[in-house]
Structure 1
């Protein structure tokens, strides 16, 4: 078994280090990763399960977890392939009929407000924008929520039901885990998945069009 001490390391470094260690095993085996936040545990679990591995997590202390990822086969992947595999998280049960169009439109929302000036108006405009997304003939492939935009996917958000509608229609809704932790709202996420900066970078660079309201 390989052990990685990723405590104190920002997301998504624990995921990348763990996946590279799994590839380095060159056969069946386990990688044990120590982390200091629940978002890292979730990301490691998602990565492991996405690669067909068995994943077990254990809380060791107030801010310490151990995540053990076990593979029965060799995971011979390159660094680039490893990062790509980390990013690809299937959305169970997404209706195929409403899948996004071939053109990859990514909506990147970085604030609760749309535009600058009056925040009350800005919040109203953002709510209208998210609602308008649900009415488009061509849905976006992904909605990314980071920095202040992370609030929109959490309980109490005026845009929550519209984001849920987008997710139910097959749109990928991803919220930055580091941002959720920073604002202390990780426990209130109510739609979509927690993600990391590699995924955000991949979605932005792989998009046909990036929309920033």
Structure 2
């Protein structure tokens, strides 16, 4: 049996939320989500990958049909995920108070992260934190090093748009609130700055 989610014409994050609802109810059937925007296509594919689904994209005119099938669960991967660390950065400054001190502390914090072990898996930048992943970032070298080590670096697309910096993103990928929240809730440990 195939479960179909028609998310054409819906704004983000609705296609992701509707697809997730079907995934939560799913007992092994194929799921096909219909979308007609590149952003929705990318976000539903990210959801599928993060939930262990294999997917194939079928282009039909202006629409994309994302065919998703659940893979068998890997218990060792699940126990590894419980050890993962995710950090959400919501400001370009570390703590509150003097901005100059906060900038110096943030630079020191990210240098320290480059010395960490493999448990750091995700860095999620929201609100003013996106200034650290875009042009003129004082920690760009540290972020690039962490990305090369396999750390997933994500910046809020709405925040990049708000600050007029979407075309200035220099490290990592654009994400949405749903994906960021899912990563934080599924991580074994979280830190919010």
Q: Same fold (TM over 0.5)?
A: yes
**Structure 1 55/117 Cα, relative in aligned 2: closer, same or farther at 3 Å?**
farther
User: What is aligned with 1:54?
Assistant: 57
Query: Which digits, 9 at most, give the CA deviation of each residue in 1:89-130, with x for residues without a partner?
Result: xxxxxxxxxxx9972222111100111112222122212211
CA distance in 2, matches of 1:179, 1:146: 6
Q: Any stretches of 5+ residues in structure 1 without a counterpart?
A: 59-65, 78-99
**Structure 1 27/200 Cα, relative in aligned 2: closer, same or farther at 3 Å?**
closer
1:54 deviates by 1.9
CA distance in 2, matches of 1:19, 1:205: 15
Q: Is the 8 A contact 1:173 1:192 kept in 2?
A: yes
Q: How many residues are treated as equivalent by the alignment?
A: 176
User: What is aligned with 2:184?
Assistant: 204
Larger mean CA deviation between 105-114 and 150-159 belongs to 150-159
User: What is aligned with 2:131?
Assistant: 151
1:166 deviates by 0.6
CA distance in 2, matches of 1:20, 1:189: 31
Q: Is the 8 A contact 2:59 2:65 kept in 1?
A: yes
User: What is aligned with 2:112?
Assistant: 132
Q: Is the 8 A contact 1:39 1:194 kept in 2?
A: no
Query: Which digits, 9 at most, give the CA deviation of each residue in 1:22-45, with x for residues without a partner?
Result: 98xx669x754244xx64454245
1:202 deviates by 2.1
Match of 1:68 among 64, 71, 81: 64
Partner-residue secondary structure (3-state), 1:53: strand
2:92 aligned with 1:112: yes
Q: Is the 8 A contact 2:82 2:188 kept in 1?
A: no
CA distance in 2, matches of 1:105, 1:19: 23
Partner-residue secondary structure (3-state), 1:175: strand
1:133 deviates by 0.5
User: What is aligned with 1:167?
Assistant: 147
Q: Aligned Cα RMSD in Å?
A: 3.6
CA distance in 1, matches of 2:185, 2:48: 24
Query: Which digits, 9 at most, give the CA deviation of each residue in 1:53-101, with x for residues without a partner?
Result: 125598xxxxxxx551243xx7479xxxxxxxxxxxxxxxxxxxxxx99
Partner-residue secondary structure (3-state), 1:52: strand
